[in-house]
Amino acid sequence: MAVDLHLHSVFSDGTATPEEIVATAAEIGLTGIALTDHDTLAGIPRASAAADRTAIKFIAGTELSVEWRDQTMHLLVYFLDPGPGPLQDRLVELRAARDERNLRIVSLLQGLGLDISIEEVTTEAGFGVVGRPHFAGVMIEKGYVESVAEAFDRYLAAGRPAYAPRQKLTAEAAIRLARDSRAVPVIAHPHTIGLRAAEYATGFRQLVSIGLGGIESYYGEYSPEMRNQIAGICDELGIVATGGSDYHGRYKPHLEIGVGRGDLRVPDAVFDQLVSARQPCRQLGHDASQNGVV
């Protein structure tokens, strides 16, 4: 029995609808899922309603890009309900900042001689939050590159000529806002931060003290050894070893729901551990009483 707590739909840079994701999850026998579209909760009502028609347990989530030690870290936020709230309100601003950044990317690409308009990119995104994979989609359609990976490597990745940064919360602010919203913040795919796994316990301890609830340990890109190593570090830190496929449909064609590259299996016990991590006093121990969060 397994779960998948990292999934993207058409509401951000995935290509499957929430209903299609739930249907696939049911087909392969997952017991729980979380939808984690970038900077939005717009897909949550549909995913939750679809999950309710199955035996699959559902967690409302989102994925944020935050700043930590001058680097970009991705933070998954679980149990963030749609509607107003401390973090929810910030998502509105983050999406507005994306709009400005998207215009900047278009003009950088045009400056490099690529004939691409913002209308083409927003059409590619449909009603989803626009992200760089949508630029990549248009670039493939127009024959400028052959794959999403090539679009990032040549143009869109940090340090490449059409890269434009966007507004981010700091990791600390995002963690506090998440806890203020009764949600559980978790570091996504920690290998993307310039830190060796052996350094995670020391590096992330301060974030745990302010409310970090977990680290994504069961991830498709990791060897079984690395998954176990990170899960061990989570044990040491007293936080949850979470996991998921980071499914994006056609934008990441090598990743499948539930199984990642094929060998992923996120233990279903993780689901209930995450539910428990929602209780601040239980999760934070003495720090919770210091912060008056009880």
Q: Which residues bind Fe ion (CB under 5 A)?
A: 13, 74, 188
Task: Confirm or reject binding of residue 162 to ligand AMP (CB under 6 A).
Answer: no
Task: Confirm or reject binding of residue 37 to ligand AMP (CB under 6 A).
Answer: no
Backbone angles phi, psi at 105, to 5 degrees: -65, -45
Which one of Fe ion, ligand AMP, Zn ion, none interacts with residue 149, CB within 5 to 8 A by kind?
Answer: ligand AMP
Task: Confirm or reject binding of residue 131 to ligand AMP (CB under 6 A).
Answer: yes
Backbone angles phi, psi at 83, to 5 degrees: 115, -175
Task: Confirm or reject binding of residue 189 to ligand AMP (CB under 6 A).
Answer: no
Find the residue with minimal CB distance to ligand AMP: 131
Task: Confirm or reject binding of residue 13 to ligand AMP (CB under 6 A).
Answer: yes
Q: How many CB atoms lie within 10 A of CB 133?
A: 25
In whole angstroms, the minimum distance from the beta carbon of 1 to Fe ion comes to: 25
Q: Is there a contact between 161 and 112 (Cβ–Cβ < 8 Å)?
A: yes
In whole angstroms, the minimum distance from the beta carbon of 88 to ligand AMP comes to: 18
Give the nearer residue to Zn ion in terms of CB position, either 213 or 260. Answer: 260
Which one of Zn ion, ligand AMP, Fe ion, none interacts with residue 108, CB within 5 to 8 A by kind?
Answer: none
Q: Is there a contact between 180 and 174 (Cβ–Cβ < 8 Å)?
A: no
Give the nearer residue to Fe ion in terms of CB position, either 131 or 211. Answer: 131
Secondary structure (DSSP) of 187-239:
E-SGGGSS--GGGHHHHHHHHHHTT--EEEEEETTS-HHHHHHHHHHHHHHT-
Task: Confirm or reject binding of residue 103 to ligand AMP (CB under 6 A).
Answer: no
Backbone angles phi, psi at 218, to 5 degrees: -95, 95
Find the residue with minimal CB distance to Fe ion: 74
Backbone angles phi, psi at 171, to 5 degrees: -60, -40
Per CB under 5 A, residues contacting Zn ion are 63, 246
- Choices 24-32, 149-157, 173-181, 270-278; region in contact with ligand AMP by CB under 6 A: 149-157
The size of the interface with ligand AMP (CB under 6 A), counted in residues, is: 10
Q: Is there a contact between 101 and 74 (Cβ–Cβ < 8 Å)?
A: no
Backbone angles phi, psi at 167, to 5 degrees: -60, 135
Contacts with ligand AMP, residue ranges (CB under 6 A): 13, 38, 131-133, 148-149, 152, 157, 248
